[in-house]
Amino acid sequence: MTLEDRPIVSLDVAAPVATVWAHLRDPQLVRRWFGWDYDGLDDEIRQIFGAEVREHHEHADGVTRRTLTWPHHDVLTVTARDDEPRRTHLTITRRSHDGLAAYDGVYDEIDEGWVAFAQQLRFALEQHPGQDRVTLSVLGLDAGDRRDPLLYRAGLHGVRGLPVGAHVDVTRPDGSRVGGTLVHRSEHQVAIHLHGIAESLLVLMLEPAGHHPPHGRVSAVLSTYGLDDATLAEARRRWAGWWGAEAASA
């Protein structure tokens, strides 16, 4: 049986294809967008983007195409036209779920990981080129029941209904407010470009109850750039207050 490929990501990045490619091949540059900060991140980057990944390069008819192919058949492709040197199109495809016992029919964690990472890559290159990143994250929080949903407590309960490009105005549990722009929305994920002193990207990954009973789970990753020590300390304090005691130990 031949499994068909599924498109997971398709987006434009306002950066030259050589720059995007470098951020897929140089581990120090991958670190500026991939995943979130934890002790094993460098090892994970070496494992995922290391020797087992096959590269393919071609240039024909005014189009550059570079491809990474993993042993499990995930394929990432960046494409750019010679007459649009500062725009790169990025796609990621994966094999069909048909016949795959690991897929529960509700939520694919690897799919959602690729979607989140592509948003983080685009944000890093478009908003903070050349800068290193610090992330704040909370992973796998209980989403709460209908009477007390976590996103309601966090002031984010309405974001899933907003269109891409809409303004987001959030009141956090401590009463402070933060504004931003919704830059991505899909069935299980939203990404918000937060404005203010610290231009940052908030990615929310929402696991449904069918995948993780009884309520589902919420993971949140905030990518920050260029913060001095005092501002970063304040960001950490507000982050912990935003998500509760779980964030303080995350």
Query: Each residue of 227-247: b (16+ CB within 10 Å) or e?
Result: beeeeeeebbebbbbbbeeeb
Q: Quickly state the pLDDT bin for 161 (edges 50, 70, 90).
A: very high
Same domain membership, residue 29 and residue 118: yes
CATH number at residue 22: 3.30.160.110
Domain encompassing residue 34 = 1-128
Same domain, 53 and 141: no
Q: Is 170 in the same domain as 98?
A: no
User: Do 144 and 249 belong together in one domain?
Assistant: yes
Contacts 24+ apart (CB under 8 A), 29-34: 31/132, 31/133, 32/124, 32/128, 32/131, 32/132, 32/133, 33/117, 33/120, 33/121, 33/123, 33/124, 33/125, 33/133, 33/223, 34/117, 34/120, 34/121
pTM: 0.94
- pLDDT over 70 at 100, yes or no: no
In the listed set 128, 162, 186, which residue is the last one of a domain according to the structure? 128
Looking at 79, 108, 128, the residue that finishes a domain is 128
> pLDDT value at position 149?
94
122 and 139 housed in the same domain: no
Confidence band for 198, pLDDT divided at 50, 70 and 90: confident
Q: What pLDDT, in 10s, does the model give residues 72-87?
A: 899 999 999 999 999 9
Chain Cα centroid distance, residue 54: 23
Q: Are residues 26 and 117 in the same domain?
A: yes
Angle, nearest 10°, between helix axes 17-25 and 109-127?
A: 130
What CATH number did the domain enclosing 242 receive?
A: 3.30.530.20
Residues 112 and 13 grouped into a single domain: yes
Instruction: Kindly state whether residues 167 and 65 are assigned to the same domain.
Output: no
Number of domain units in the chain? 2
Query: What pLDDT shows up at residue 3?
Result: 60
- Same domain membership, residue 215 and residue 115: no
Main-chain dihedrals φ then ψ at residue 169, nearest 5 degrees = -125, 110
User: 121-145: per-residue pLDDT in tens?
Assistant: 999 999 999 999 999 999 999 999 9
Three-state DSSP state, 165: coil
- What percentage of the chain carries pLDDT values higher than 70? 94
Q: Is residue 249's pLDDT more than 50?
A: no
Last residue of a domain, one of 128, 146, 171: 128
Same domain for 121 and 148, yes or no, is no
Q: How confident is the model at residue 12 (pLDDT cuts 50, 70, 90)?
A: very high
